[in-house]
């Protein structure tokens, strides 16, 4: 087994990639080599149970909230015809562009004026995070529902199964991998969130990590807590995978391999026309979600931003825009490429452990950005030192830092942090292509490159686009790792927004915040247009 693994090029390349991407995670887990008993005792005696309890509640709440919103909305837009459906299909993705902490700031500003709802609570945090994170579920569930075939429904109908029973017994179980992937992403983001919970004063595992690090100066213990969080996520994800180990979900319909045949393929689901009442009720539901999750906060931000727009330095603002956009764009291409390589390794490799490797490498999503950044700085610092010594040997001078404090560190951090987002999309995309297609192509004497180019890529187009856009928006919003790893004199919109917000100048923070949202919208619209074409 071991020898065959080593001969398997897919396994070797996956191993190398994962080892590289796993370095910060290993650096964080390395902290467990030294355990301080008095500190742990203090933590257990005081706040640990509070941290765990709040974090679990938050993650479960956000998982449930984003799951219900995402699945119900996806079911509506894929199954029923209602007023504005084609518009909602893409508009409902828009909240994705709202960073959770900005949502929190905005609504707090609003509710403080109203005074009848205390938004700064665990319930408030769950609500705000669910509202900005449900698009993950919505996006994946929508693809899964629309990929399900009409035959299922017809068979179900002949068996006298009602619509709701069909949803529960057939549609949802088939969409399970996609839905759970979305829910898992939302939950991991909630677990790693710091901005929102710190602002609301909720003691979670993440705020605990920072209290330990900043307050007590105990980096080691903080890393141990972060490592514990990552291990917990790994176990939960492992259990979920294990529970569906014997299930496979493939598309069996005629595949639109080329344009000619795609024009003859029947659409998977003709939409159900509703009674006039529900025709508008469904629109009202979708609109309400959009209103709360996007229109109200963005309008509020625009109002605030308008007041500060005269005071900005246009040249500086343009630089911020270009910086944020280029970072997000380049990283999204890089990360999706890596994710695709790993997904292929998993598909083609004979070795089962590739799955575990990629799972491990994509853990970065559940680790708070700042802790991850330190996990990168430490090994990079060591590497820089070695490079400098070697350089000195050869050229008689030091070259300074090559990795830390450069774009290398920044891009690497994004890869580690957001690989999971891209992987979930590329993997679900690939999993839905039946392996017997691969076999057929290979039997016909074509190589794997040809298989990828001519068969897989056309089928994967949606998944790849979705992956790149999710990563793009995530990098655009990313704050903590960018803040600490960025090179000198390099600002992004998120950094700017944070600086104002941390100085409690929420109104000044509105303009950079709303710009993040606007830049985030552009790819979301691109995605939906691309999806309509196919």
Partner 1 sequence: MRKIVFGLFASVLSISFVATNASANATEASPQQLNIYSARNEALIKPLLDQFAAQHDVTINLVTGKADALLARAKSEGRFSPVDIIITTDVGRLSRAKSQGLTQPITAVLPDFVTLQDPQQHWVALTTRNRPIMINPKKIAPGEITRYEDLLKPEYKGRVCVRSSTNIYNQSMVAAMLIQQGEAVTLAWAKGLVDNFARRPKGGDRDQIKAVVAGVCDIALANTYYLAAMRNADAESVAIANQVKVVWPNQSDRGVHLNISGIAVAKYAQNTDIANQLITFMLGQQAQDWYAKTNHEYPVDPKIEWSSTLQAMGTFTSENVELNQVGELNAKALQIMDKAGWQ
Residues that bind partner 1 (CB under 8 A): 42, 46-47, 50, 108, 112, 115, 120, 198-203, 207, 210-211, 213-219, 307, 319, 322-323, 325-326, 329-330, 333, 370, 373-374, 377-378, 380-381, 384-385, 388, 398, 400-401, 404-405, 407, 480, 483-491, 495, 499-500, 502-504, 507, 530
Residues 6 or more apart in contact with residue 380 via CB below 8 angstroms: 403, 404, 409
Give the residue with the Cβ less far from partner 1, 352 or 529: 529
Residues 6 or more apart in contact with residue 414 via CB below 8 angstroms: 327, 331, 334, 335, 471, 475, 478, 481
Give the residue with the Cβ less far from partner 1, 42 or 85: 42
Tally of CB atoms within 10 A around 250: 12
| DSSP assigned state of 116 | S
Give the residue with the Cβ less far from partner 1, 199 or 317: 199
3-state helix, strand, coil in the chain (%, to 5): 80, 0, 20
C-alpha span between 470 and 189 (Å, rounded): 13
State the minimum distance, in angstroms, from the CB of residue 434 to partner 1.
Answer: 25
C-alpha span between 506 and 497 (Å, rounded): 8
State the minimum distance, in angstroms, from the CB of residue 487 to partner 1.
Answer: 8
Give the residue with the Cβ less far from partner 1, 43 or 357: 43
Give the residue with the Cβ less far from partner 1, 354 or 467: 467
C-alpha span between 143 and 462 (Å, rounded): 9
Give the residue with the Cβ less far from partner 1, 358 or 426: 426
State the minimum distance, in angstroms, from the CB of residue 480 to partner 1.
Answer: 8
State the minimum distance, in angstroms, from the CB of residue 468 to partner 1.
Answer: 9
Tally of CB atoms within 10 A around 352: 11
Of 363, 415, 368, nearest to 192 by C-alpha is 368
C-alpha span between 186 and 192 (Å, rounded): 10
State the minimum distance, in angstroms, from the CB of residue 78 to partner 1.
Answer: 24
Give the residue with the Cβ less far from partner 1, 269 or 319: 319
Give the residue with the Cβ less far from partner 1, 291 or 322: 322
Of 475, 461, 355, 357, nearest to 415 by C-alpha is 475
Tally of CB atoms within 10 A around 410: 24
C-alpha span between 314 and 179 (Å, rounded): 43
Give the residue with the Cβ less far from partner 1, 123 or 273: 123
State the minimum distance, in angstroms, from the CB of residue 479 to partner 1.
Answer: 10
Helix (H, G, I), strand (E, B) or coil at 81: strand
State the minimum distance, in angstroms, from the CB of residue 347 to partner 1.
Answer: 22
Structure tokens, 230: 């990552």
Tally of CB atoms within 10 A around 464: 20
* Radius of gyration in angstroms for the set of CA atoms belonging to the chain, rounded to a whole number: 24
Structure tokens, 267: 């659409």
Give the residue with the Cβ less far from partner 1, 326 or 353: 326
Give the residue with the Cβ less far from partner 1, 348 or 380: 380
State the minimum distance, in angstroms, from the CB of residue 249 to partner 1.
Answer: 27
State the minimum distance, in angstroms, from the CB of residue 329 to partner 1.
Answer: 5
State the minimum distance, in angstroms, from the CB of residue 328 to partner 1.
Answer: 10
| The dihedral sign for the CA sequence 373, 320, 294, 148 | negative
Residue the block writes with tokens 């602002």: 199
State the minimum distance, in angstroms, from the CB of residue 270 to partner 1.
Answer: 28
Structure tokens, 468: 């790149």
C-alpha span between 416 and 436 (Å, rounded): 33
């Amino acid at each position: 087994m071991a020898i065959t693994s080593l001969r398997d090029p897919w396994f070797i390349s996956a191993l190398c990639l994962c080892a590289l991407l796993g370095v910060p995670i290993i650096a964080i887990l390395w902290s467990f080599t030294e355990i301080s008993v008095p500190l742990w005792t203090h933590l257990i005696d005081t706040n640990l149970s509070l941290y765990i309890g709040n974090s679990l509640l938050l993650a479960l709440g956000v998982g449930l909230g984003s799951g219900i919103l995402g699945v119900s909305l996806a079911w509506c837009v894929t199954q029923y015809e209602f007023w504005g459906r084609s518009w909602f299909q893409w508009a409902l993705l828009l909240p994705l562009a709202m960073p959770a902490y900005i949502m929190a700031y905005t609504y707090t500003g609003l509710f403080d004026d109203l005074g009848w709802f205390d938004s700064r609570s665990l319930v408030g945090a769950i609500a705000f995070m669910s509202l900005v994170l449900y698009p993950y579920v919505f996006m994946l569930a929508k693809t899964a529902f629309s990929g399900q075939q009409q035959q299922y429904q017809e068979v179900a109908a002949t068996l006298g199964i009602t619509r709701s029973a069909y949803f529960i017994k057939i549609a949802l179980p088939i969409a399970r991998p996609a839905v759970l992937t979305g829910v898992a992403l939302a939950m991991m983001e909630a677990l790693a969130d710091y901005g929102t919970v710190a602002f609301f004063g909720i003691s979670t595992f993440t705020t605990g990590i920072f209290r330990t690090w900043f307050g007590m100066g105990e980096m080691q213990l903080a890393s141990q807590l972060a490592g514990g969080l990552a291990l917990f996520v790994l176990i939960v994800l492992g259990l979920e995978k294990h529970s569906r180990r014997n299930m496979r979900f493939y598309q069996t319909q005629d595949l639109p391999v080329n344009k000619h045949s795609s024009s003859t393929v029947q659409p998977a689901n003709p939409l159900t026309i509703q009674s006039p009442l529900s025709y508008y009720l469904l629109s009202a539901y979708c609109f309400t979600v959009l209103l709360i999750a996007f229109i109200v906060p963005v309008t509020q931000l625009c109002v605030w931003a308008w007041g500060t727009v005269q005071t900005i330095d246009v040249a500086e603002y343009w630089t911020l825009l270009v910086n944020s956009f280029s970072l997000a764009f380049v990283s999204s291409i890089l990360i999706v490429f890596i994710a695709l390589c790993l997904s292929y390794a998993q598909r083609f490799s004979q070795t089962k452990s590739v799955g575990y490797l990629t799972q491990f490498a994509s853990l970065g999503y559940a680790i708070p950005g700042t802790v991850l950044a330190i996990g990168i700085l430490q090994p990079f610092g060591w590497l820089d030192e070695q490079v400098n010594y070697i350089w000195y040997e050869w050229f008689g001078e030091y070259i300074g830092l090559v990795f830390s404090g450069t774009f290398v560190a920044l891009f690497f951090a994004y890869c580690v942090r957001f690989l999971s987002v891209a992987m979930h999309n590329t993997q679900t995309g690939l999993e839905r292509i039946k392996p017997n297609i691969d076999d057929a192509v290979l039997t016909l004497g074509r190589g794997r490159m040809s298989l990828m180019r001519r068969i897989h890529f056309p089928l994967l187009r949606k998944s790849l686009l979705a992956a790149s856009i999710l990563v793009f928006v995530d990098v655009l919003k990313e704050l903590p790792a960018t803040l600490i790893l960025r090179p000198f004199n390099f600002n992004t919109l998120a950094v700017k927004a944070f600086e104002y917000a941390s100085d409690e100048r929420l109104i000044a923070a509105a303009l950079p915040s709303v710009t993040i949202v606007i830049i985030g919208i552009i790819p979301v619209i691109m995605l939906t247009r691309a999806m309509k074409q196919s």
